[in-house]
Amino acid sequence: MSHEFPAETRTPRETRAITLAHLSDPHLPPPPVRWQDALNKRALSLLSWKKHRRHVHLAATCAAIVGDIAKNDVDAILVSGDLTNFGTPGEFALAANWLKQLPAPAMIIPGNHDCMIRQPAERGILQWKTWSAASYPYARIHDGVAVVGVNSGVPTPPFMAYGRVGRRQLARLEALLTRLGEAGLCRVVMIHHPPKRGLVTWRKALHDYRAFARVLRQAGAEIVLHGHSHDATLTHIPGTDIPLLGVASASLTDKREHRQACWNHLSIHPQDNGWAINMARHRPNGRITEKASWVRPRNSRT
């Protein structure tokens, strides 16, 4: 697959900003789950869905998020995992159809729900290769902006939802970020689990977050996006000033504002020696609840 967005979205980078929509954890309503597919950890997740999650993760809320994104004419939509609830083949197919209908080209990574159990890749994440890759990390490049997708989803024991990038992927990530930085590109890194202690409980955490942060300190990045926590947060990669931007679930209904469904609108403006990155956090009705901005130098490591 090409490492660029469709040709019709390309324009000289000095004439316009690149705009990205970041959403996560849509937890799309699942098709019926076959009993053969639930003789494992999925049974617990299915029980949770029936008792609670289906009442707060609403398709109408996610549709409102997508509708608001459509009104903002973005260049691409970044989805940082958990499109499914149980990671069944039928859910992967349903999510692929959803991705086809989004109002802009999409790039995705899997989350812990998408990697709930071990199964042949053809039944799972390879159904999303059009919007992702056959292996990780991957990069998609457009007008000086490189979106780098990292896979932190791994099968875990019951009641656990932690993630891990792993040594081999970390080594490839460091080499990839270094090459992209040397080429003078703006590196937008996308991972499902938040790579920082304290944003989720231990059973949901990225267990090699220190190694991930060490790679970013060595190779550099301009901003990191994550999901998983279902919280709208803004922090930094440990030991750096690299912004770490979390987003609430795109389908979640919650009384607490930081957990209400939202999406992040990123606008990346090229400058002589780097980029100005602006962020606006949108609710489903288009209301903006938070703004932030950064000036990031080229090939930044801290």
According to the CATH classification, is domain 19-297 in 3.20.20.140? Answer: no
Q: What is the pLDDT of residues 267-300, one digit of tens each?
A: 999 998 899 999 999 999 889 999 999 999 987 7
Q: Is the pLDDT of residue 188 over 80?
A: yes
Q: What is the pTM of this model?
A: 0.93
Q: What is the pLDDT of residues 42-96, one digit of tens each?
A: 888 888 888 999 999 999 999 999 999 999 999 999 999 999 999 999 999 999 9
Q: What pLDDT was estimated at residue 207?
A: 98
Q: What is the pLDDT of residues 21-31, one digit of tens each?
A: 999 999 999 98
DSSP secondary structure, the chain, as one string: --SS--GGG---GGGS-EEEEEEB---PPPPPPPGGGGSSTHHHHHHHIIIIIHHHB-HHHHHHHHHHHHHT--SEEEE-S---SS--HHHHHHHHHHHHTSSS-EEE---TTTTSS---GGGTGGGGGGGS-SSSSEEEEETTEEEEE--------TT---B---HHHHHHHHHHHHHHHHTT-EEEEE-SS-SSTTSS-GGGSBTTHHHHHHHHHHH--SEEEE-SS----EEE-TTS--EEEE--BTTB--SSGGGS--EEEEEEEEETTEEEEEEEEE-TTS-EEEEEEEEEETT---
